[in-house]
Amino acid sequence: MVITIDGLCENGKTTLALRIARTLGFKCFNTGAIYRCYALYMKENHIVDHFSELKHLNISFDNKNVLLNDIDVTDKIYTQEISLYSTEIASISEIKDIVNQYQKNFINQYDTVMEGRDIGTRIAPNADIKFYLYASDIVRANRIQKSKNISFDEALKNIKQLDDMDINDGLFVKPENSIEIDTSNLDIEEVYNLMMDKIKEIIN
């Protein structure tokens, strides 16, 4: 069984995917973390082309921690620099193809909760359950401001910059036939409960 969660940044996709996967006993696949690990590796090793080396990286998830070649890189990959660079490299066709194949192989092996920008369209168009999470720019900027302790203006600038890259480069595609949830006025617990209610309705 495959459950997809799509949406732009700061909608709680990663946290919700992890929690739902644990509840259902499924595997969780964090697409954004894969791109972030590639971005970090490329930065640290000065890779600008010949991306086939990325196929051989060992990326794994341990609860909320992300391991790259068995080293915890969670803090490193969630910096603003890596966030922006990961969005930039995600538009490179060769890197995108590597990630897409990785994703498809994964969902063919496991019951999976997978989150990202285009999962319900390009990667798993036949997913059993699709979610689309969204919220206003203002709400998402407030979330970044609180989590990263930066000014609201800087947070809003970050949101707009990431959204522009995701949308203009075609990385984000709103999935058809998805369950849409406006997270603007809901906390994570409320969104989780709403999603689990929908899942139970469908699978029972």
Element (H, E) at 137: helix 137-148
Are the CB atoms for 38 and 54 separated by under 8 Å? yes
Q: Is the pLDDT of residue 71 over 90?
A: yes
The pLDDT tens digits for 154-187 are 999 989 988 888 888 777 888 989 999 999 999 9
Amino acid in position 168 = N
> How far apart are the C-alpha atoms of 184 and 139, rounded to whole Å?
6
Amino acid in position 3 = I
| Burial readout 159-198 (b: 16 or more C-beta within 10 A, e: otherwise) | beebbebbeeeebbeebeebbebebeebeeeebbeebeee
> How far apart are the C-alpha atoms of 201 and 198, rounded to whole Å?
5
Stronger pLDDT, 147 or 34, i.e. the higher one: 34
Residue carrying the six token digits 């499924």 = 26
Average per-residue pLDDT for the chain: 91
Stronger pLDDT, 61 or 53, i.e. the higher one: 53
Kindly indicate whether the domain formed by 2-196 is annotated with CATH number 3.40.50.2300.
no
Residue carrying the six token digits 């070649």 = 69
> How far apart are the C-alpha atoms of 204 and 192, rounded to whole Å?
18
Of 42, 128, 129, 140, residue with least CA distance to 88: 42
